[in-house]
Amino acid sequence: MAFQAAIPPGGTWFDTLKKSFVDVPVDSSNGNAIPTSDFLEAAESLTTLFDLLGSLAFTPVKNDMIGNIKKVRDRQLASPSDSSTLQSLVLNELKSKKHTSAEGLLWLVRGLDFTSQALRHTLQNPDAELSTSFRTAYTGTLKPHHSFMIKPIFSAAMSATPYKKDFYVKMGDEQKAKVDMGIWLDALEGQVRVLKEFQERKEAKW
């Protein structure tokens, strides 16, 4: 479980992250391999964003992401020699005729894609409120995959976002937060893109 640390004076929420996606290496010489431990730690750090949004409506969203992180980590702990990268973890699990962690990673990537698209929309549309940004991102990422029972739960969270001005107050120094967010999003979006492409490969499906 990830808990939000105090934002340092003059700093931002990004300074509180135990691990940032900026610090997760992508090995372009090895099929864009992404180290499992670093990625899961960065994803776990991201979940404190939902605490920052300040509504209990986001608890199911956060818990869903944490649950998917756990599925991937459980496989890593059970078979560490085959799980140093996310790609090797998935491929080796599928060879064993199981797909629990592969499915967990699929949903985790969808959740990260949703979060990154919401924040990117926020940065690129200064006049749009967070609720619009999050609803737009949800429609394009998670919603098509959610059941009729799950959609209302997530839709409630989209409507419970704070006003953008209040969100940036919680983020810390607003101008620095916008700069930090752009850098962090560049890294996150790149890793999401790598993993989505990997998950479309025949050998990564079940």
User: What does the alpha-carbon distance between residue 15 and residue 8 come to, in Å, rounded to a whole number?
Assistant: 7
- Dihedral in degrees, nearest 10, Cα atoms 127, 161, 133, 137: 180
Confidence band of 159 (pLDDT split at 50, 70, 90): confident
Residue-level length of the chain: 206
Which of 27-31, 139-143, 159-163 has the highest mean predicted lDDT (pLDDT)?
27-31
| In the chain, % of residues over pLDDT 70 | 98
Maximum distance among all Cα pairs of the chain, rounded to whole angstroms? 51
For the segment 46-82, what is each residue's pLDDT rounded down to a tens digit? 999 999 988 788 898 899 999 999 999 999 999 999 9
pLDDT, mean of residues 168-176: 94
pLDDT exceeds cutoff 90 at 1: no
Q: Which residues of 18-30 are buried (b: 16+ CB within 10 A; e: fewer)?
A: ebbbeebebeeee
Q: What is the pLDDT of residues 113-123, one digit of tens each?
A: 999 999 999 99
User: Tokens at residue 128, please?
Assistant: 């749009």
pLDDT tens across 15-24, in order? Answer: 999 999 999 9
Question: What is the reported pLDDT for 4?
Answer: 63
Q: What is the pLDDT, as a whole number, of residue 170?
A: 94
pLDDT of residue 2: 57
Q: What is the pLDDT of residue 3?
A: 57
Mean pLDDT of the chain: 94
pLDDT at 54: 84
Residue 149 has pLDDT above 80, yes or no: yes
DSSP annotation string for 48-66: HHHHHTT-GGGHHHHHHHH
Q: Which residue is listed with tokens 């990625």?
A: 39
Question: Distance between CA atoms of 95 and 88, rounded to whole angstroms?
Answer: 11
Instruction: Give residue-wise pLDDT tens across range 191-206.
Output: 999 999 999 999 999 9
Cα distance between residue 66 and residue 133, in whole Å = 22
Kindly indicate the confidence band of residue 5, based on its pLDDT and cuts at 50, 70 and 90: confident
Place of tokens 């105090």: 6
CA atoms within 13 A on the CB side of 130: 19
